Structure 1
Amino acid sequence: MVSQEIIVYSDYVCPFCLLAEEVIAQATEGLDVEVRWRPFELRPAPVPTLKVEDPYLPRVWRESVYPMAEKLGVPIKLPTISPQPRTDKAFEVFAMAEEQGAGHAYSMATLKAFFQQERDIGDPNVLADIGEAVGLAHQAVLDALADGRYREQHQAALRHAVEEAHIQSVPTLIIGGETVQGVPDPLALRRFLTERA
């Protein structure tokens, strides 16, 4: 079976990105598929990030996130951190993790840290902890964030997402040139991958 690639554009403050990972895991079980994560900041500076106290977040979670999470069996909760953290620093560490072959593991650990452990993924020390958990050196993460070693790399990835891939929302999956927006149905995704194999 020919190896396929799923490119997932995501933001670490998007709960649907964590749910999409569960769908992808179910749909690709036993198939030769490589999943590659790519950054897309929903609210890059200076755009204000969302606040839990505003009605928008609780409503979206009540109407969409929690029902979908329950259906998929994914533990998730609306973090009380307010305003929500920016994700540029988290994505700088992603660039470092990707270099070391740990991009997928890091993305999953970061989504879970925010949505299951309510950790502030805008805090360099939290990011260093997450990085260490997937094999990065704790101090190396802090040093890279302090000197902005991966800042330009992250900005280039963002430009690619917007200008070349034309990403407008997350999660967006790219599979062999086909674009799938939002959280796909696991059975439909598996059927699509199997037909392409």
Structure 2
Amino acid sequence: MSRTVVRVYSDYKSPYAFVAVRPTLALAEAFDLALEWRPYTLRIAEYLGSVDDRGPHAWRRVRYSYMDARRYANKQGLTLKGPKRIYDGYHANAGMLFAQKHDFFERYHWTVFERFWKHELDIDVPEEVAAVVAECGGDAEAFKAYAEGAGRTEMTAVIDEAEAMGVFGVPMYVLDGELFWGGDRLDLLKERLAERQGG
């Protein structure tokens, strides 16, 4: 019997994606899921505005979001510091694809998340991301070549496919074409999985 596949869209600069990693892995273990992690690079300025253009409402929303995510982080003993600026995150997300191709995804995934939110890694500096790749067992030079070559084409294809399915944020879970947005929707996903398995 084949394992149930759940696709998980994530972005290293999302605090909610960070705090959802452990609950997602726990759910996968409980239901023997095969997780397909995919990068979805958020374009923050499109929905929250640039730093210079944000009004009071947007700033209240930003402050609340980080406070709220920090509550979840604290429950898990994680450090979640507010970001220093608006990040793009392409290189770190390209690293996700590269790490999957070269079998060091799990270590890379957690290392990038944890260090970024501790302010120990700049996910927009290729050399810093490449150093994590090397630390996790990958080829730093091959990663940099990938990120500036085939990685850009592959990332575009991943995002285009995601948006064609309706993906707009992270973490986003996809089960049999049904979307579940946010770690706080894991209970709904759990219900679907139980129904699927006849429980």
When normalised by structure 2's length, the TM-score is 0.79
In the alignment, the residues of structure 2 paired with residue 108 and residue 115 of structure 1 have an alpha-carbon distance, to the nearest angstrom, of 11
Q: Percent identity?
A: 22
User: Cα–Cα, structure 1 residues 122 and 191, in superposed 2: closer, same or farther, change >3 Å?
Assistant: same
Query: What stretches of structure 1 of length at least 5 have no aligned partner?
Result: none
Partner of residue 96, structure 1: 98
User: Cα–Cα, structure 1 residues 114 and 152, in superposed 2: closer, same or farther, change >3 Å?
Assistant: same
Check whether the contact 1:5–1:33 (CA below 8 A) recurs between aligned residues.
yes
1:23-62 matches, within 5 Å, as 23-43=23-43, 55-56=59-60, 57-62=62-67
Count of residues in Structure 1 that have an aligned counterpart in Structure 2: 190
Check whether the contact 1:43–1:86 (CA below 8 A) recurs between aligned residues.
yes
The one-letter code sitting in structure 1 at the alignment partner of 2:74 is E
* 1:12 equivalent in alignment to 2:16: no
User: Cα–Cα, structure 1 residues 47 and 70, in superposed 2: closer, same or farther, change >3 Å?
Assistant: closer
Q: Which has the higher relative contact order, 1 or 2, with Cα contacts under 8 A spaced 6 or more apart?
A: 1
Three-state SS of the structure 2 residue aligned to 1:76 is: coil
Partner of residue 68, structure 1: 72
Higher alpha-carbon deviation: 186-195 or 20-29: 186-195
The one-letter code sitting in structure 2 at the alignment partner of 1:59 is Y
User: Cα–Cα, structure 1 residues 80 and 39, in superposed 2: closer, same or farther, change >3 Å?
Assistant: closer
In the alignment, the residues of structure 2 paired with residue 80 and residue 186 of structure 1 have an alpha-carbon distance, to the nearest angstrom, of 26
What's the CA shift for 1:81? 2.4
Three-state SS of the structure 2 residue aligned to 1:130 is: helix
Check whether the contact 2:39–2:97 (CA below 8 A) recurs between aligned residues.
no
Query: What stretches of structure 2 of length at least 5 have no aligned partner?
Result: none
Three-state SS of the structure 1 residue aligned to 2:94 is: helix
When normalised by structure 1's length, the TM-score is 0.80
Three-state SS of the structure 2 residue aligned to 1:180 is: strand
Partner of residue 116, structure 2: 114
Q: Deviations over 1:124-170 (max 9, x none)?
A: 1111122123321122223333x4231111111111111x2111121
What's the CA shift for 1:182? 0.8
User: Cα–Cα, structure 1 residues 119 and 42, in superposed 2: closer, same or farther, change >3 Å?
Assistant: same
What's the CA shift for 1:78? 2.2
The one-letter code sitting in structure 2 at the alignment partner of 1:77 is L
Check whether the contact 1:36–1:104 (CA below 8 A) recurs between aligned residues.
no
What's the CA shift for 1:187? 5.7
